[in-house]
Amino acid sequence: MTKKFCISGYYGFDNFGDETILNVLVENIKAGVGQSQITIFSSNPLKTEKLYDVKSVYSFDLLSVIKELLRCNYLISGGGSLLQDVTSKKSLVYYLAVIAIALFFRKKVIIFAQGIGPINNKILANITKIILKKAKYITVRDNKSLNLLNEWGIKANICDDPVWNIKINKKEKANKIGIQLRNFNSLTSEFIDKLAFCINEFYRDKEIIIFSFQNKIDLEICNQLKKHLQIINPSINVKVVENISNEKIIDDISELDSLIAMRYHACLIGIKAKIKVLPINYDIKVENLAKDFNLLNLDLNCTLEHMKEIFSDFKNLSRAYNIEKIERLNFNFTELLENL
């Protein structure tokens, strides 16, 4: 019998992390379920269909979403931090509504590799609790989410990020340094000035590749860094890379000598590829990743002198990762598939 899946999440927005998680999920469903039909709710259905060879409907075409939920056996909601109201109350209401409609039609709901909360609105928090109690199987990516669900009396399993399951081809390390930035409210021009100074000071002899993962958020700040570097050193070898596939991003990162990055999944891919990674700590999940692997990291408020010290230490580091730990990290799709 063909099993029919709907997948709801932050898809179609060209976000590297979410799309990479989706790719891993779709591959494992196709490989592990046998006959299956997959429909993804996406803001860009044509692109999603082409990328993953599945059916896709526009996320905010409510009639199409309801029709697909009526036809499916399972709704998978995730991964990512969907059920929180810090980014937007509207997005939380949307993702809860999709789950609620699926439950109303008596479909089985899987909460997949999510971060839950914070939910500051008490009414929305109570609605979330009521809805999640009816889910068939829940996995969360962090202990804070797990503790919140435990407080609500909801059973959940802690999981590793699904992106750890990505297979990365071994590549010869080139004389290249990668920089990955995203716009953020506490990322200042002063920090960009300091970063440009240190990159030129320590890596002027290397090719500098600045990655824009999601142009709407990343590109402006990436071009700003490039401009600052060229003002400091007009002959520096620097370029901004944009509009490339996730597969190309992973390949390009895997051949770097070192990576200095803001986004959590950029840092994760660098660690997985066993290159030197210097996280820029703008978010608690990046801070926690740095702690997990005992990495040096840059704070957005650090002084120039402190940044120079970190760059000096970073450049002199060996790639002394706990390789066994990296190899152990993977999302347990066997357990997930047993619940389908």
Residue 125 sits in the same domain as residue 181: no
Q: Confirm whether 145 is domain-assigned.
A: yes
Q: How far apart are CA 64 and CA 61, in angstroms?
A: 6
The last residue of one of the domains, among 159, 186, 202, is 159
Smallest CA-to-CA distance from 214 within 27, 43, 40, 26 is with 43
One domain, residues 221 and 265 = yes
Q: What's the CA dihedral at 84, 85, 90, 91 to 10 degrees?
A: -30
Q: Calculate the CA dihedral of residues 281, 285, 289, 294 and round it to 10 degrees.
A: 50
The bridge status of strand 137-140 relative to strand 55-58 is unpaired
Residue after which a domain boundary falls, among 106, 130, 159? 159
Q: Residue 225 domain-assigned? A: yes
Could you tell me if residue 31 is inside a domain?
Answer: yes
Query: Is residue 197 located within the same domain as residue 320?
Result: yes
Say if residue 182 is in the same domain as residue 51. Answer: no
Considering 103, 129, 159, which residue would you say is the last residue of a domain? Answer: 159
Provide the residue count of the chain: 340
Q: Are residues 110 and 199 in the same domain?
A: no
Q: Is residue 230 situated within a structural domain? A: yes
Residue 255 lies in a domain: yes
pLDDT (tens place) for every residue of the chain, 340 residues total: 899 999 999 999 999 999 999 999 999 999 988 889 999 999 999 999 999 999 999 999 999 999 999 999 999 999 888 999 988 899 999 999 999 999 999 999 999 999 999 999 999 999 999 999 999 999 998 899 999 999 999 999 999 999 999 988 887 778 999 999 999 999 999 999 999 999 999 999 999 999 999 999 999 999 999 999 999 999 999 999 999 999 999 999 999 999 999 999 999 999 999 999 999 999 888 998 999 899 999 999 999 999 999 999 999 987 666 777 888 898 988 888 887 7
Rounded alpha-carbon distances, angstroms, from residue 222 to 47, 198, 253, 323: 25, 16, 16, 31
Q: What are 142-156's pLDDT values in tens digits?
A: 899 999 999 999 999
Question: Based on the structure, what is the number of domains in the chain?
Answer: 2
Structural domain boundaries enclosing 252: 176-325
For residue 204, the Cα-to-chain-centroid distance in whole angstroms is 30
The answer to whether position 203 is within a domain reads yes
Tell whether 35 is covered by a domain: yes
Residues 229 and 269 in one domain: yes
Q: Are residues 39 and 11 located together in one domain of the fold?
A: yes
pLDDT digits (tens, 9 = 90+) for 89-110: 999 999 999 999 999 999 999 9
Please report how many Cα atoms fall inside a 13 Å half-sphere around the Cα of residue 323, on the Cβ side. Answer: 5
For residues 155 and 180, state if they share a domain: no
Same domain, 229 and 125: no
Q: What residues contact residue 218 under an 8 Å CB cut-off, 6+ apart?
A: 180, 181, 182, 183, 211, 212, 242
Both 316 and 207 in one domain: the answer is yes
- Both 125 and 270 in one domain: the answer is no
Check whether residue 81 and residue 198 sit in a common domain. no
**Residue 53, domain CATH:** 3.40.50.2000
Establish if 187 belongs to a structural domain.
yes
